[in-house]
Amino acid sequence: MSASHMFRRATSSYPTPDVSGPTPLQAWIDVYNTVKASGLIPADIEPTTLENGAPVYADGSGSTTAVCSWTQNGCLAADDIVDAPDGMIGIAFDDGPQPPSSALYTFLAAQSQKATHFMIGSRIIDNSALFQTAVANGDEIASHTWSHPYCTSMTDMQLLGELGWTSQLIFDMTGRLPALFRPPYGDTDNRVRAIARHVFNLTTVIWNHDTDDWSSAVSASELATELTTWIALPKSPGLIMLEHELSNKSVTGFIDAYPQMKSAGWQTRPISSLFGLPFYQNSINDTSATTTEPIADGLISSTQVASTSIQAATSAASFTTSTRPTSTPASTSKTSSDEANSSASHAHVATSAIVGIALGAAALLALLLIMAALYKRRRAGSRSAQRQRLLQDRAGREERDAAFSPTTAASSMREAGYRDSRFDSPAILVQHVG
């Protein structure tokens, strides 16, 4: 069945909305088994249990670097995205599409501002027309799981269902596979990261500022004050704020703050554009052609748009790195010849044409190789710079933590899993809703 026939497909073909940990497809399980056998998915990190609404590790291992729980102690992996480059703000929203999204999408389109939407699969089912509006606007569609659970509390199979069905639905409706994943509540550890990265080739995105726009305890005026304060801060590092499209308050808060971002000189971009990366694994953006190049080093292949499921590749090559392929530019060649009066001149023209085509193909191949090398170098440079920022930020956190006893504000912040690296003193925030 063609993806263009998506809207004739029964909703029951997908898991029931808002049911956590839906059953994954066998194709995803096969890829998972291959990755697991290679040792890339930690076998010694058990799912958490929820106590008073917060994930808890039974053996108390959440604070270790081997587990690297962002919820427990703000631990970051080397390829987590948390800070924007200097002078930039990542424009992104969680939990859509929802009824308040309509005003947000209208505003973004009027400003010619592209954004990243971390969407919940169940909400896409409920609000498919709004979803298509975001796609038509050219915005980046990313994954926020199927049912918005605490990801560390999920078993491996449940995580496969949460991530797989969200990617599947986005693929069925657009022909494109998301490249980014934001765990709800920011709840991730090395097991969750590994499944997202090595099975579905999803990069984990966190944030460095929580606007609290999700909280009913935060008034519209308080939200405006908080956003205004952050926008006026020095532009290093750049901002990736946790914002939502789930209420009129959250949407209005962004709309009111946006002119201040521009007047303050911030560059406002979708998350992938902050680092010069494509929006999708198999396409540069919402309007460019899709590609059937392998994804995640051959583990998962994006299929033609006519397919309705993510297919497992027949073989797995290297598991050490992953790339997002760019679509290969199409090229056409045109040859023409004048009529000749003899068979010899026909042969000459034919030979010239063949030589011309060969030279053109060689030049195109050289150009593609150069483009690939430049893209690889740029991506490596972005990752290297980001990694250095993360290491510096982590060192700053450790230095600050040493100045406080476990009973002070820093201890409270560790328990909340949040750090605000832009203030000299940590800010104490209530548990966020990602």
Q: Name the residues annotated as catalytic.
A: 94, 244
Coil, helix or strand for 127?
A: coil
Question: CA-to-CA distance for 263 and 7, rounded, in angstroms?
Answer: 42
Virtual torsion, Cα 12, 13, 18, 20, nearest 10 deg: 130
| Long-range Cβ pairs for the range 59-66 (8 Å, 24+) | 62/189, 63/414, 66/42, 66/190
Question: CA-to-CA distance for 200 and 31, rounded, in angstroms?
Answer: 9
Residue 84 near residue 207, CB atoms below 8 Å: no
Residue 115 near residue 91, CB atoms below 8 Å: yes
User: What are the two backbone dihedrals, phi and then psi, of residue 122, each rounded to the nearest 5 degrees?
Assistant: -65, -35
DSSP track, 282-301: S-SSSSSPP---EETTTTEE
Q: Which helix (H) or strand (E) holds 117?
A: strand 116-119
Of 293, 10, 250, 245, the closest CA to residue 137 belongs to: 245
Residue 320 near residue 210, CB atoms below 8 Å: no
Of 430, 421, 345, the closest CA to residue 389 belongs to: 421
Residue 230 near residue 241, CB atoms below 8 Å: yes
User: Tokens 């809207």 appear where?
Assistant: 7
Question: Cα 246 from chain centroid?
Answer: 19
DSSP track, 23-36: PPPHHHHHHHHHHH
